[in-house]
């Protein structure tokens, strides 16, 4: 499911979102308009939160999540920022000042950031993206549109850790009932806040921050993952699951297309809703149904791509647009660019996973030895064959 979701995100961004942002790239042989892959990734993520958070210490669990997600993100932001600066200025025919600060972080010599659809970021944009506060103000620029998932995931993980460790709601005999209430609240409360309390066109900066800073527009996807996990463990009926997932699909539609409530005026709307609903059914089948043995011959390839999927997700979008533009300038048509951009994204994701994500995670989560205090000197009349003082102790579990 993770591989399917990431591939759908890549194809949608390359063939649909890319040409929307940069019309000169609109010559691909196919156009995937459905937008559901990122939401499915969150559904799967929430499912495994339910599966793993019950094991061991919540603080340790949260740290392992953070150690896996944040280091590759920071490296991806740095790489994307500097490539965007160089490529955007080159595409626009712009330059930078002679001082090293101007070359790395300053504006272009003409002071125009949007000389074309290719934005040239400055140091402020780098700081905003490194600190993951893009969703808190409308004036903040996302260096890559895919980055929105990380702060939302981290907030949900932190909330899950706090709920599990600091409350008894999910340890009582009524834990399943409480989890169902939580799933419904995560689906319905954001809709009430956004469309009734605030209104979909509320221009206030605080309203934007409330919805997008706290990720209210995506909580329904995590609610779906909770519901699927409960159902797969026999703690929610099939009828109840169907109703809740139908509400999740409606919430997904309203949050993605808040200004088209009356009519499906966006051509991507129906494919997005149908794709999300169909893949939710597949997620349910994967969670509770029999193993998919027909996929066994493809298991090595699927497992490999799944293992690098986070790196691919982080690097495929904006860098993919830049590569597509470079290939277009080199004279390659859309049918030739598409496999090259896909292959480059997979290769870049593998590099990020191998040289950043996995080493950083191992280093940050490995057990740390506690240094023993110096041995005490025994009195002159004390004779023993054992050393004085405590022996060194190793703390922490395996990573």
Residue 284 lies in a domain: yes
pLDDT tens per residue, range 213-271: 999 999 999 999 999 999 999 999 999 999 999 999 999 999 998 865 544 567 788 99
User: Is 344 inside any structural domain?
Assistant: yes
Angle value at C-alpha 362, between 358 and 366, nearest 5 degrees: 170
Looking at the domain assignment, is residue 399 inside a domain?
no
Show the CA angle centred on residue 286, arms to residues 150 and 60, nearest 5°.
40
Domain of 153, in residue numbers: 2-394
Q: For residue 384, name the pLDDT band (cuts at 50, 70, 90).
A: very low
In this structure, is residue 111 part of a structural domain? yes
How confident is the model at residue 278, as a pLDDT?
97
Cβ density class 63-95: b for 16+ within 10 Å, e for less: ebbbbbbbbbbebbbebbbebbbebbbbbbebe
In terms of Cα–Cα distance, which of 203, 225, 254, 274 is closest to 33?
Answer: 274
Mean pLDDT across 129-135: 96
**What mean pLDDT comes out for the span 381-396?**
34
Band (pLDDT 50/70/90 cuts) for residue 378 is very low
> DSSP string of 318-362?
HHHHHHHHHHHHTT--HHHHHHHHHHHHHHHHHHHIIIIIHHHHH
pLDDT tens digit sequence for 308-352: 999 999 999 999 999 999 999 999 999 999 999 999 999 999 999
pLDDT at position 385: 35
> Is 392 a residue whose pLDDT tops 50?
no
How does pLDDT run across 136-170, given as a tens digit for each residue? 999 999 999 999 999 999 999 999 999 888 777 67
Q: How many domains does the chain have?
A: 1
Mean pLDDT across the chain: 89
11 closest CA partner among 25, 24, 26, 30: 30
Cβ-proximal residues to 129 (8 Å cutoff; 6+ apart), any chain: 77, 81, 141, 142, 143, 147
* Whole-number pLDDT of residue 374: 54
89 falls within a domain:
yes
């Amino acid at each position: 499911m993770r591989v399917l979701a990431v591939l759908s995100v890549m194809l949608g961004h390359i063939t649909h979102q890319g040409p929307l942002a940069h019309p000169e790239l609109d010559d691909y042989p196919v156009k995937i308009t459905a937008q559901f892959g990122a939401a499915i990734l969150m559904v799967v993520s929430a499912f495994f939160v339910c599966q793993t958070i019950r094991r061991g210490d919540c603080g340790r669990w949260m740290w392992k999540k953070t150690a896996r997600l944040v280091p590759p993100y920071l490296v991806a932001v740095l790489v994307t920022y500097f490539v965007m600066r160089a490529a955007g200025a080159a595409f626009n025919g712009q330059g930078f000042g002679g001082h090293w600060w101007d070359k790395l972080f300053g504006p272009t010599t003409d002071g125009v950031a949007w000389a074309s659809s290719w934005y040239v970021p400055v140091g402020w944009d780098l700081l905003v993206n490194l600190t993951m506060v893009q969703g808190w103000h409308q004036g903040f620029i996302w260096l890559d549109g895919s980055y929105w998932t990380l702060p939302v995931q981290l907030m949900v993980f932190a909330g899950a850790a706090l709920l599990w460790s600091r409350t008894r709601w999910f340890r009582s005999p009524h834990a399943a009932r409480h989890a169902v209430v939580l799933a419904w609240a995560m689906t319905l409360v954001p809709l009430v806040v956004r469309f009734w309390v605030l209104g979909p066109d509320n221009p206030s900066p605080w309203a934007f921050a409330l919805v997008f800073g706290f990720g209210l527009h995506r909580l329904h996807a995590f609610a779906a993952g909770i519901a699927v996990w409960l159902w797969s463990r026999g703690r929610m009926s099939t009828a109840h699951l169907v109703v809740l997932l139908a509400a999740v699909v409606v919430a997904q539609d309203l949050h993605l297309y808040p200004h088209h409530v009356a009519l499906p005026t966006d051509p991507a709307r129906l494919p997005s809703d149908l794709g999300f609903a169909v893949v939710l059914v597949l997620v349910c089948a994967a969670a509770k149904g029999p193993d998919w043995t027909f996929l066994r011959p493809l298991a090595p390839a699927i497992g490999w791509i799944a293992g690098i999927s986070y790196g691919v997700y982080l690097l495929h979008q904006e860098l993919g647009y830049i590569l597509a533009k470079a290939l277009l300038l080199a004279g390659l048509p859309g049918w030739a660019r598409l496999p090259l951009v896909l292959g480059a994204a997979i290769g870049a994701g593998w590099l990020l996973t191998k040289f950043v994500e996995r080493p950083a995670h191992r280093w940050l989560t490995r057990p740390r030895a506690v240094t023993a205090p110096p041995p005490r000197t025994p009195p002159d009349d004390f004779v023993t064959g054992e050393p004085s003082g405590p022996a060194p102790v190793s703390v922490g579990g395996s990573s």
